Structure 1
Amino acid sequence: MAGPTTAERGERQQESSVPPPVRRLRPPRPRTIIILAVALVLLGAGGVWALYGSQWLRVERVSVSGTGVLTPAQVREAADVPLGSPLISVDTDAIEARLLRKLPRIDSVDVTRSWPHGIGLKVVERTPVLIVEKGGKFVEVDDDGVRFATVSRAPKGVPALELAPPESSSATASLRRFGDDRLVREAVRVAGDIPAAVARTTRTVKVRSYDDISLELSDGRTVAWGSGEKGAAKARTLTALLKAAPGARHFDVSVPTAPASSGS
């Protein structure tokens, strides 16, 4: 039996190469569109109601962490978080600003929502590095030179800051040139550079002028530090000097490359 002719084979190949008809998707019916739209509106309205109108997501508690000198009760009172309000509507920035304004001891605070019913206040308190005696009380100064609190009892282990009396000519010149705040910051800078072993026994940081700062240790020894510049080099030099001359009573590291010690 004879097979297909060449013409017949060509026709079959043409038929097989014709792509199948494309099925066009029918657009959704208007009724389906309306149902979907209504469902989305109801879903959105339900979400808004849950966040703002329901009793499910309202502020019921305020947790405080990170306090040292301050008490959690003091922080809660200053924060004045609106209990019973929708959690989503609480202005966390306003709470932060209120705490920093009312409690200067707070250096920073992180205010967060703790779903479904809480507000968290994570506090970082300022740490005093110097104290200034004033009227029988003590003003605490932090490492930025901020005078943030006045206390009736001096904190242990914190050196006193002593500024030269106003009648001192060097003090008057420094105050006129740098200002009291700048001199306090220089004293803070020095306090931060004192070697740890020396810092534990430092009783007073005396500032006579910008470049005349000295330390008085608890055993009566003194250190001429000079300005607040080259603090790291001065700290290393002082550490070496204390080891080399343990019986000395006065140390001078104002020029760290040419230190000196005297007394016995």
Structure 2
Amino acid sequence: MSGPTTAEGGEPQEPGSGRSRLPRLPRLPAALSAPRTRTLILAAAALLAVTGGGLWALYGSSWLRVEKVTAAGTDVLSPEEVRAAAGIASGTPLVSVDTDAVENRLRGELPRIDEVDVVRSWPDGIRLKVTEREPVLIVEKGGKFIEVDDDAIRYATVARAPQGVPVLELTPRRTPGPQRFGTGELTRAAVEVMTAVPARVARETRRLKVRSYDSITLELSGGRTVDWGSAEDGGAKNVTLAALMKAAPKAGHFDVSVPTAPASAAS
């Protein structure tokens, strides 16, 4: 007799087995994940060390602290005044200086300051970059002079009148009705006129008289006067006045209150 045979063309099977076995996947050794875990722990520790060291350097160490405060851009003010008003204590951690608060404090303490920029100068300094207001008019009061800038802000009182700055004389007419204007509105109108007049006329203006919103007169050197009218149509009045003064250089009075119908007279 012949022995056991396989199915035609098939592979031999183990006796008693009705199914073929699936291949087994190799297991990864548990030790292979250990280096990765150690790397993550070391990286986290290094990060904490760097962060902690950085915070200590910024806030806790004697480094990176304010040792000098400098002020630049001053004219009437002194650097000492600006530094004192800034109120930045020596030894303060540089990173903790609130630059916005310093700027607000400077503007509040020193109204003459128009713009200020507070800059950290690493590793140990603060720079204060100041732009002062400049007067375009002054108001005489009690023997002193109040300076008014190009935003119509009255920002300082001085004992001496700044050279070359016209005096603003407000003498508003007491007329009833809705067309009454307060001191603030009239001051803004006067400033608008001073920024609109020709540069040559601005240099020669000694006094600006404002009786109402539409009655503004410039007194120039040599006794000459200009009837400007209201602050409106400043560009047209500028061109008209320049042409009128050129056409009548010896005239003592010029009227450009209606720029389309100017006039000049001997006095």
Correspondence for 1:136? 143
SS in 2 for 1:43: helix
Distance 1:173 1:193, change over 3 A: farther
Q: Deviations over 1:37-94 (max 9, x none)?
A: 1111001001101111111100010111111100000100111112101000011111
Q: Please give the alpha-carbon distance, in whole angstroms, between the structure 1 residues aligned to 2:244 and 2:37.
A: 91
Query: Superposition RMSD on alpha carbons, in Å?
Result: 1.7
Q: Please give the alpha-carbon distance, in whole angstroms, between the structure 1 residues aligned to 2:151 and 2:164.
A: 18
Q: Please give the alpha-carbon distance, in whole angstroms, between the structure 1 residues aligned to 2:240 and 2:33.
A: 86
Is contact 2:181–2:212 with CA below 8 Å preserved after alignment?
Answer: no
Correspondence for 2:132? 125
Is contact 1:107–1:125 with CA below 8 Å preserved after alignment?
Answer: yes
The residue identity in structure 2 corresponding to 1:239 is A
Is contact 1:62–1:121 with CA below 8 Å preserved after alignment?
Answer: yes
Q: Please give the alpha-carbon distance, in whole angstroms, between the structure 1 residues aligned to 2:176 and 2:141.
A: 23
Correspondence for 1:263? 266
Q: Please give the alpha-carbon distance, in whole angstroms, between the structure 1 residues aligned to 2:179 and 2:261.
A: 30
Distance 1:81 1:228, change over 3 A: same
Distance 1:28 1:226, change over 3 A: farther
Q: Please give the alpha-carbon distance, in whole angstroms, between the structure 2 residues aligned to 1:114 and 1:33.
A: 37
Is there any run of 5+ residues in structure 2 with no aligned partner, and where?
1-31
Q: Please give the alpha-carbon distance, in whole angstroms, between the structure 2 residues aligned to 1:238 and 1:27.
A: 90
Distance 1:39 1:161, change over 3 A: same
CA shift for structure 1 position 177: 2.8
Is contact 1:174–1:209 with CA below 8 Å preserved after alignment?
Answer: no
Q: Please give the alpha-carbon distance, in whole angstroms, between the structure 2 residues aligned to 1:237 and 1:27.
A: 90
Higher Rg: 2
47, 58, 62: which one aligns with 2:54? 47
The residue identity in structure 1 corresponding to 2:68 is R
Q: Percent identity?
A: 65
Q: Check if 1:252 corresponds to 2:259.
A: no
Q: Please give the alpha-carbon distance, in whole angstroms, between the structure 2 residues aligned to 1:27 and 1:206.
A: 90
The count of aligned residue pairs is: 236
Structure showing the higher helix proportion among its residues: 1
TM-score under structure 2 normalisation?
A: 0.85
The residue identity in structure 1 corresponding to 2:165 is V
Correspondence for 1:56? 63
Is there any run of 5+ residues in structure 1 with no aligned partner, and where?
1-24
TM-score under structure 1 normalisation?
A: 0.86
Structure-to-structure mapping, 1:150-161, within 5 angstroms = 150-161=157-168
